[in-house]
Amino acid sequence: MNNLNQFWKLRSDRERRLIIISMALILLFFVISASHWIVSQTTSSKSKLVSAKSDYEHVYEGALLILGRTSEDLLQNNPNEVFDSIRSLSSEQSILLMDIRLNDEGMVIDLGIESLDQIIKFIESMHSSFAFNLVELSLISSNEQKTVTLIYSSN
């Protein structure tokens, strides 16, 4: 600090003014550079936000188109397509599909299972695939045969 004080005292008024002006210009340069960087980053972020929002809206609209055909509509308009999907789902999980039918309550599925884990996985798969509303589950167990009846509402 002493050296800086001595340096300052040894300078003439004109040199002091030049040093002050040059320091102010250097400071101004850093302020302008920092503000330019902030503005460019803000502009870049805004354009990325607009792009991301556009991508989101595009994907959202596509999802609505895909999901617009609800499971209930599919079941009412084309039950065989749903039945075929359920048949393949049960065969993938090694579950005996005994019967699928529609009645006043909705869709009734009769299954032959070996363990309760199988039916839990099947119900989870049905929910994730079709989002049907399970309203009733009946389990009949005799000797080595377990029969499960699932009733899904049609509304």
Residues 31-42: tens digit of each pLDDT: 999 999 999 999
pLDDT of 40 = 93
The model's pLDDT over 75-100, given as tens digits with 9 standing for 90+, comes to 677 788 888 888 999 999 989 999 99
Of 64-68, 105-109, 123-127, least confident by mean pLDDT is: 64-68
Give the distance, in angstroms, between the CA of residue 37 and the centroid of all CA atoms in the same chain. Answer: 33
pLDDT of 85 = 86
Q: Model pTM? A: 0.53
Question: Distance between CA atoms of 41 and 127, rounded to whole angstroms?
Answer: 45
Task: Report whether pLDDT(155) > 60.
Answer: no
